Structure 1
Amino acid sequence: MSSGRAAVRFGAVLLMVGGVGVVSASTSYAGGTATITKQPWGTTAGGVAVDRYTLTNNGMRVKILTYGGILQSIEVPDRHGHRANVALGFNNLADYETKSPYFGCIIGRYGNRIAKGTFTLDGVTYHLPINNDPNSLHGGTVGFDKHVWAATPMRTRDGVALKLQFTSPDGDQGYPGELKTTVTYTLTRNHDILMDYVATTSKPTVVNLTNHNYWNLSGEGAGTIDNTKLQLNASRYTPVDATLIPTGAIDPVAGTPMDFRHATAIGARNRDSFGQLVIGRGYDHNWVLDRRDPTFRKLELAAKATDPASGRQLTIYTTEPGIQFYAGNFLDATLVGTSGHMYRQGDGFALETQHYPDSPNHANFPSTVLRPGQTYRTTTIYHLGVARHA
């Protein structure tokens, strides 16, 4: 597939499901009322004011920072109706600026790793910051997670939304082209968090946007995720080298601890001696989703995670070809979260919908090239519910 064709076909679809309405603080629908409110949430070290928006519906509440587009809190009910925050994070801006391992943020320009911070496009070699030695990670030293985004509250026919916008200048973190990006979070009455990503560029470039929320369905600060049951709609994955860069191979999961085609407790095999798990200190890999639509236009099931104790269930749908499952292997009790509890190894997991890591350096991977005149579009849905049988 040519790079231009792949870029045009990055995504889908149904931006702002239900239709965008005028800017409003609330919207009513059959069965309840959704609201969106705003409050000041401090000032960055550079003197930029940050706001926190709170989106609510019938039983669910989501808090989003304009700093990094961070999902700071996601409160959802368990099987008994008791609500808890299931997103790891901090209760202050300073920790997000200085300590955060990408809690809840928008990742860009390029989610995941690029080998040795180098890629070549149209015969020109570009050099990116090395912030995950020896590679470049999540857009570089000052990625999209470290900027304050312009925010616009909106309403839809069945919920409320927050549109975030940021323009990355040509050459930012070594990437070519001025990239204009819009990320819209929509909270629906069905307990969906829709994430719609749109970007355009002034020069040929590479783009791979995602969100890096850390989940604990038992509740933030509740301890290990080992008992959480995970199912991935993927029969293949991309193995990595010693620096967590894909080797270029696409291997089957069958017969390995990478097989999550059936719901399996995260902790059941996370400490196995399987070579890939040794490299990553546990799970930190990209799975190749079993998509029926190869054009990446349609939303399809990517993952399902269930907490047996609370019954809370997270189901992810996406237009993307891959998903990175990270089991919180590098949390080391040095971070104190929103509720005042320390985060230890395996206290949260991330499921990042994405194109594959290091795609610009692998011709056999789906392309992440975006050219002037084309529009990057992807959509991911996080559905929060309660499992009938956990």
Structure 2
Amino acid sequence: MEIKKALFGELEGRPVHAYELKNDRGISVTVLEYGCIINKIIVPDKNGKAENIVLGYDNLDGYLHGVPYFGAIIGRIAGRIAGASFELDGKTYKLSANENRNHLHGGFKGFNAVIWDSTPIEQDGAVGVKFTHISPDGEEGYPGNLDATVTYLLTNEQELKLSYQAHTDKKTIVNMTNHAYFNLSGDMKRDVRGHKLQIPSNRVLELGQETLPTGKTFDVTGTAFDFRNGRKIEDGTVSDHPQNVLVGNGYDHAFLLPETEKTIRLKDEESGRVLTVETDQPCVVVYTCNTMGNDEYEIRGRKPSDYLAVCLETQGVPDAIHHPEYPSVILEPGETYRAHTKWIFG
């Protein structure tokens, strides 16, 4: 196993480093200090050809001026918070409204847009990086000094383990995730409409007109949202279900995961690549880049197109602070926020 550190760029006079993690079985993962971004994941196909399976940029400027969130850690809160405000113990906290009147993915300068401190990890059968960042009290409107840690660990068992921790000195809210954009065809040869996705979920959060949860859920049975036995992503792009149409003909939805089964699988038949996702989180947000073709930037020399990738964001339930029926995202002083997800490449 091997770990290499190299300069990736510079921001406001500070160097930004990239770590390349390699295991003994042909997989390499490149991660950045900026945003804890997963920049590349190189995985062999069924014929042994090694190619990249995530979207990203080859320089820091791309992340600063292109589409945000490629491969980044999202925080303090993943997803949208209605009205860019919430209440704790009778006090209202006003957050930055960076998507119309709502708060999205941590605000204007969320965890995706800061330089994290880094420490390389070398263990028997694994290499990785531990990232740390202190988000000060009041940043983007959130209460409390939040001490956050993100760890990536690549193993010889073909796993990339993602671990999140956080502590606060004041009651606050936390819900972190990684926003990797997967395309298992390798080097973006095809879009992901032909990818087969399997999710053990029978209920999905209903979305309203601002792509915010309404507080209701719907049964997936008989719809293009039923991935329990596996189905192609394309099914949602041609579906006339109002929820598919609402988000631009595809998916941008939180699938609730049962306590007894939280394993998600994504497969590209042509390349033979399979991604298995295991998590301890209550839901996965599936986003299929439904309107990416409208964007003007380039991704590693290619103009983006609709359905170029799929995001599988394992996390707490979106906007849970406004829906007490869902698992709490409140963190108290003296408590530890913990979340774990594992990606297995096959």
Q: Does 1:337 align with 2:304?
A: no
**What amino acid does structure 2 have at the position aligned with 1:125?**
T
Q: Equivalents in 2 of 1:221, 1:131: separation in Å?
A: 30
In the other structure, the counterpart of 1:285 is 253
Q: Is the 8 A contact 1:76 1:85 kept in 2?
A: yes
Residues 194-233 of structure 1 correspond to what in structure 2 (within 5 A)?
194-233=161-200
Measured in 1, the distance between the counterparts of 2:179 and 2:263 equals 15
The one of the two structures with greater contact order (alpha-carbon pairs below 8 A, sep at least 6) is 1
Q: Residue 336 of structure 1 aligns to a residue in which SS?
A: coil
- In structure 1, runs of 5+ residues without a counterpart are 1-33, 293-299, 386-390
Alignment-derived partner of residue 147 in structure 2: 180
Match 2:17 to one of 51, 73, 86: 51
Q: For the residues of structure 2 that align with 1:271 and 1:203, how far apart are their CA atoms?
A: 47
**1:13 alignment counterpart:** none
Deviation at 1:311, TM superposition (A): 0.5
CA contact (8 A) 2:289 2:310 kept: yes
- What corresponds to 1:356 in structure 2? 317
TM-score, structure 1 as length reference: 0.86
Q: What is the RMSD computed on CA atoms of the aligned residues?
A: 1.0
2:341 paired residue number: 380
Question: 1:347 aligns to what?
Answer: 308
Are residues 1:80 and 2:47 paired?
yes
Matched AA of 2:267:
T
Deviation at 1:271, TM superposition (A): 2.6
Q: How much does 1:272 deviate?
A: 1.5
Partners of 1:301 and 1:119 lie apart in 2 by: 29
**1:343 Cα deviation after fit:** 1.6
Alpha-carbon separation, structure 2, partners of 1:274 and 1:372: 44
Partner letter of residue 48 of structure 1?
Answer: R
Which ranges in structure 2 are unaligned for 5 or more consecutive residues? none
Q: Does 1:91 align with 2:58?
A: yes
Aligned to 1:189: 156
Q: Which amino acid aligns with 2:298?
A: V
Q: Aligned-pair distance for 1:47?
A: 2.2
SS of 2:118's partner is strand
Question: 1:25 matched to which residue of 2?
Answer: none
What are the Cα deviations for residues 222-256 of structure 1, in whole angstroms up to 9, with x where unaligned? 23111000001111111110101111112211122
Residue deviations 1:5-56 (CA, integer Å, cap 9, x gap): xxxxxxxxxxxxxxxxxxxxxxxxxxxxx11110001112x22210000000
* Candidates 250, 272, 277, aligned match of 2:217: 250
Cα distance, 1:182 vs structure 2: 0.5
Matched, 1:112 2:79: yes
Per-residue Cα deviation, 1:40-95 (whole angstroms, up to 9, x for no partner): 01112x22210000000120010001000000000001111111000101111011
SS in 2 for 1:185: strand
Give the deviation of 1:211 after TM superposition.
0.1
**1:156 to 2:128 alignment:** no
Contact 1:221-1:342 at 8 Å conserved across structures: no
Aligned AA for 2:184?
A: L
- TM-score by length of structure 2 reads 0.97
For 1:109, the aligned partner's letter is R
Aligned residue for 2:262, secondary structure, equals strand
2:241 corresponding residue in structure 1: 274
Is the 1:221–1:343 Cα contact (8 Å) retained in structure 2?
A: no
